[in-house]
Amino acid sequence: MTYYRTHNLGELRASNIGETVTLSGWVDTKRDLGGLTFIDLRDREGKTQIIFHTDVAEVAVVERAQKLKNESVIKVVGVVRERQSKNANIPTGDIEVFVTELEVLNNCDVLPFQISGDDNLSENIRLKYRYLDLRRNHMARNLKMRHKMIMSIRNYMDEKGFLDVDTPILTKSTPEGARDFLVPSRTNPGDFYALPQSPQLFKQLLMISGVEKYFQIAKCFRDEDLRADRQPEFTQLDIEMSFIEQKDIMNEIEGLAKRVFKNVTEESAEYDFPRMPYAEAMERFGSDKPDTRFGVELKDLTDIMATCGFK
């Protein structure tokens, strides 16, 4: 067998009928019917049904296929044929591949949990076997969605004239809102580097340097307790601009948000984002990031309660 694949497992269509193809992937499901074995072969792009039949393949090949466990990694060569019972739920549902050659790249041991099984798994198990957890459909979709979001951000910022600049990770400890993670220096015993809580100082240096428009998908580190929107290590979109007014940065962020939303969800936000001055937000909601969906606003009762004797 040749050590390559001609197609990914979400690619074959009716137009490929009659072609000899090489496919590689993970055994997703298997059904044995004596001399006939059906396998759904999976990679990150999708699934393709492959068939081991004694009319096409050698008996030894079919017998090896029957011994395969789910999540074993295999490479096959076969002929694309029209599928008799088509599957409208997958893009490759009009075809199937009758295998003539099989190579087992990696056998799978007994799994701690089923990849296509119940989502009700403990987080400890998922993290311990993260390489298995990431094979699950919804996790793979999350990675693809994140990739699409990041690429959308980069493309938009590039169109708007921003420069993507990497700033240092090992830096000097500077006072910010949280504790620093410290890294001991081998060459200067007793001294420490700090991991950046944000690229704040560096992006200000870039503005002084005349960069004018900077952005970075930045790794940030803060030695603090977990919160709903914060972890010790997190990624943020960091932006800095020179020669602008407040409305300019708001316009850029609104345009970016709309572009990313459309590219990721394929839906459009055809409206202007509402804007609220800081003083109004604090007066009405007591927060600089109010959730206005609920309409719960603060009410100033000073005039009513000023003369109340209740302490």
Q: According to the model, what pLDDT value does residue 2 have? A: 56
Share the mean pLDDT of the chain. 93
Overall average pLDDT of the 145-154 stretch: 97
Q: How far is CA 126 from the centre of its chain?
A: 16
Identify any residues that bridge with 264 across adjacent strands, giving them in sequence order.
none
CB 21 within 8 A of CB 49: no
Instruction: Name the nearest CA neighbour of 70 among 102, 8, 113.
Output: 113
The answer to which of 2-16, 155-169, 256-270 has the lowest mean pLDDT is: 2-16
Identify any residues that bridge with 215 across adjacent strands, giving them in sequence order.
164, 239
For 262-276, the DSSP string reads HHHHS----SPPP--
Per-residue b/e over 276-286, b at no fewer than 16 CB within 10 Å?
Answer: eeeeeeeeebe
For 7-43, write each residue's pLDDT tens digit: 999 999 999 999 999 999 999 999 998 789 999 999 9
Fold of 14-106: OB fold (Dihydrolipoamide Acetyltransferase, E2P) (2.40.50)
pTM over 0.95: no
The ranges assigned to domains in the chain are: 14-106, 143-271, 276-311
End-to-end, the C-alpha distance of the chain in Å comes to: 86
The CATH number of 143-271, from 3.30.930.10, 3.40.50.12240, 3.40.50.920, 2.40.430.10, is 3.30.930.10
Q: According to the model, what pLDDT value does residue 227 have? A: 80
| Residue 68 DSSP code | P
Residues 6+ apart with CB under 8 A from 179: 222, 223, 224
Q: According to the model, what pLDDT value does residue 105 have? A: 95
Instruction: Name the nearest CA neighbour of 132 among 118, 116, 120, 145.
Output: 116
Confidence of residue 4 (pLDDT cuts 50, 70, 90): confident
